[in-house]
């Protein structure tokens, strides 16, 4: 017999929906049959499956070990671990300084992303158990492009995932980025336009007026340091759409250094010497929540090295 105690991440959902997630290889018909036969009970009583689960409810499953393993999911080996730069952690939230080159979430089934690494971290640290993972999957809240570094929020619990997803959707979290762009930018400015995404090419285009399928975007930027041919910008992401900063800056003639997709130079000339840039110089460096909580991600080494190089010439 297996017994599961309902926690905050499972509470509030129907029992049958929980069982489908907990025993994903079992059909709904089989699960309802087991409920009718009292092979699955709730608080030691017969259940229909339509009950709303409450914290500390106990679900008893009277299966043999072989049957239970047949219908449950094998998850232990799905989540590798790696060294992570964790900036903040509480009961509901984890904040990661994501390095350039790491996916936020899987693009293909074979990918390993920050999402898998952070679940692996929680399993290894004991903050999450395999049984809890069967009914609730922690997840990233925001997304960063593979070659953009910086702040990545991760909901450890259903509460954390819902609260921070809502805050981002309602724009009660202020998001700031650092970017090195082509050109001499002298003034603070707010860009207002429309973004259209081409799903097949994974690329967006910017227009001044609304067109079919476009969404309004607003991006604010100000120069922090000017280097003649290049400028370090502080960018306030007011709306948050795919590739918004990259495409919006490129549309006004200031593409991000290293961003080949949006016409940023992959090689820059410094005192006549060609310097290759391996990724777009964009870093999600600060988030300010409505409650005043501030998260900041240190500037990565490749970003600092490029700034030092262009500053010396």
Summarize pLDDT for 92-143 with one digit per residue, the tens.
999 999 999 999 998 888 889 999 999 999 988 888 887 788 778 899 999 9
Same structural domain, 275 and 205: yes
Same structural domain, 216 and 305: yes
Given the residues 57, 145, 187, 198, select the one marked as catalytic.
145
Q: Between the CA of residue 58 and those of 49, 72, 255, what are the distances in Å?
A: 13, 18, 56
Same structural domain, 103 and 139: yes
State the Cα–Cα distance between residues 195 and 249, nearest whole angstrom. Answer: 12
198 is catalytic: no
- Torsion from C-alpha of 11, 15, 17, 23, nearest 10 degrees: 110
Same structural domain, 196 and 296: yes
Same structural domain, 128 and 255: no
Same structural domain, 9 and 37: yes
* pTM over 0.85, yes/no: no
| CATH number of the domain bearing residue 160 | 3.30.2350.10
Same structural domain, 157 and 215: no
Percent of the chain with pLDDT over 70: 98
Q: How many structural domains is the chain composed of?
A: 3
| CATH number of the domain bearing residue 63 | 3.10.290.10
Q: Between the CA of residue 313 and those of 73, 224, 229, what are the distances in Å?
A: 58, 18, 11
CB 277 within 8 A of CB 265: yes
By DSSP bridging, strand 139-140 and strand 230-237 are: unpaired
Same structural domain, 52 and 133: no
Q: Between the CA of residue 293 and those of 70, 114, 155, 239, what are the distances in Å?
A: 45, 23, 16, 20
Q: Between the CA of residue 238 and those of 126, 196, 241, what are the distances in Å?
A: 37, 17, 10
What does residue 274 show for φ and ψ, rounded to 5 degrees?
-80, 125
Residue 80 structural domain: 76-169
Same structural domain, 223 and 275: yes
Same structural domain, 42 and 101: no
283-300 pLDDT tens trace: 999 999 988 899 999 999
Q: Answer whether residue 77 shows pLDDT above 60.
A: no
Same structural domain, 64 and 145: no
């Amino acid at each position: 017999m297996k017994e599961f105690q309902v926690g905050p991440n499972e509470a509030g959902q129907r029992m049958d929906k929980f069982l489908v997630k907990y025993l994903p290889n079992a059909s709904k018909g089989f699960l309802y049959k087991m409920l009718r036969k009292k092979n699955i009970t709730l608080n030691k009583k017969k259940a229909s499956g339509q009950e709303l689960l409450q914290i500390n409810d106990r679900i008893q499953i009277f299966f043999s070990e072989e049957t239970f393993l047949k219908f449950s999911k094998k998850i232990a080996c799905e989540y590798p671990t790696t060294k992570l730069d964790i900036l903040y952690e509480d009961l509901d939230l984890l904040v990661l300084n994501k390095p350039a080159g790491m996916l936020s979430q899987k693009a293909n089934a074979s990918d390993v992303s920050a999402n898998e690494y952070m679940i692996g971290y929680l399993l290894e640290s004991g903050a999450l158990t395999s049984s809890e993972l069967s009914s609730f999957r922690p997840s990233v809240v925001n997304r960063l492009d593979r070659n953009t570094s910086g702040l990545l929020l991760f909901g450890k619990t259903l509460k954390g995932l819902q609260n921070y997803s809502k805050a981002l959707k309602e724009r009660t979290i202020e998001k700031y980025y650092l970017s090195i762009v082509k050109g001499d930018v002298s003034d603070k400015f707010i860009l207002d336009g429309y973004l259209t995404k081409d799903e097949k090419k994974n690329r967006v285009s910017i227009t001044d007026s609304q067109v079919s399928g476009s969404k309004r975007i607003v991006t604010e930027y100000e120069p922090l340091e000017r280097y003649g041919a290049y400028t370090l910008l502080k960018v306030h992401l007011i709306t948050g759409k795919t590739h918004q900063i990259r495409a919006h800056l490129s549309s006004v003639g200031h593409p991000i250094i290293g961003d080949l997709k949006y016409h940023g130079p992959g090689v820059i000339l410094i005192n006549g010497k060609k310097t290759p840039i391996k990724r777009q110089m964009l870093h999600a460096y600060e988030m300010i929540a409505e409650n005043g909580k501030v998260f900041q991600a240190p500037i990565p080494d490749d970003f600092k090295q490029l700034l030092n190089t262009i500053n010396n010439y």
